[in-house]
Amino acid sequence: MSIAQDHGNEEGMLADLRQTMLEFVRIENEMQQFKTAAESVHKKIRDKAITDEYSKHLKDELERLKTRGAKKDLEKHEKFVDFEERLQAATASYEPEQEAEDVQIDGDLIMTQGVQSTKCPYTQQEMEYPVKNKHCGHTYDREGIAALIKHRGNKARCPVGGCPNTKALVVKDLVADTELRAFILRKNSQRHI
């Protein structure tokens, strides 16, 4: 399989993933509409505002909510926006040409050399002051991750795609990564020589 075909398959899989996420958001919206309609009808029953044909009232309320919610753009849904941000961070931090350089083949044994990334997975910019997440070990630029936390509040999560850490990002859980900082300073000083 050629690199172009491989890239095409990747793009197709990403498109499928986006469609699946949009379907998830649509279903979640429908479930929320049903819950809201059921709560509204329940309140009317409790207040004795309606006494018959509960199912008709529920259907009417659902239709009213669907009409109002039909204009809502699924791509602007909070979960889809978060998904897109994570997907962008994951795909932008993948550098296949770098990976190919680091593979060394020795007979049947394949060894890979670790590459120290100095790009922030959120901003995709070179880190100046790296901080490490205590919970998952991922490293980000201090200013970039602080902006994410400020923007997303308690909904901020690790921006590294596939990270199993589900805890909210908070500043107190970020510690200075002095080893990476020293590496960055060495790398930058070598560039200026």
What CATH fold (topology level) applies to the domain 114-191? Herpes Virus-1 (3.30.40)
Q: What percent of the chain has pLDDT over 90?
A: 10
pLDDT band at 50 (very low <50, low <70, confident <90, very high): confident
Residue 120's alpha-carbon distances to 45, 134, 146, in angstroms, are 54, 16, 12
pLDDT of residue 131: 94
pLDDT band at 192 (very low <50, low <70, confident <90, very high): low
Instruction: Specify the higher pLDDT residue, 140 or 69.
Output: 140
In the numeric block, which tokens belong to residue 72?
């809502």
pLDDT of residue 113: 47
Q: Are 96 and 126 in contact (CB under 8 A)?
A: no
Dump pLDDT digits (tens) for 62-98: 787 776 554 456 777 777 777 887 777 776 655 444 4
pLDDT of residue 175: 92
Residue whose structure tokens are 């207040």: 47
Q: What percent of the chain has pLDDT over 70?
A: 77
**Helices of type H across the chain:** 3-46, 54-69, 78-92, 96-102, 142-152, 178-191
- Mean pLDDT across the stretch 99-117? 50
User: Which residues, other chains included, contact 47 with Cβ-Cβ below 8 Å and sequence gap of 6+?
Assistant: none
Confidence (pTM)? 0.42
Dump pLDDT digits (tens) for 28-49: 888 888 888 888 888 888 888 7
CA–chain centroid gap for 190, Å, is: 35
Is the pLDDT at 127 greater than 80, yes or no?
Answer: yes
User: Which residues, other chains included, contact 193 with Cβ-Cβ below 8 Å and sequence gap of 6+?
Assistant: none
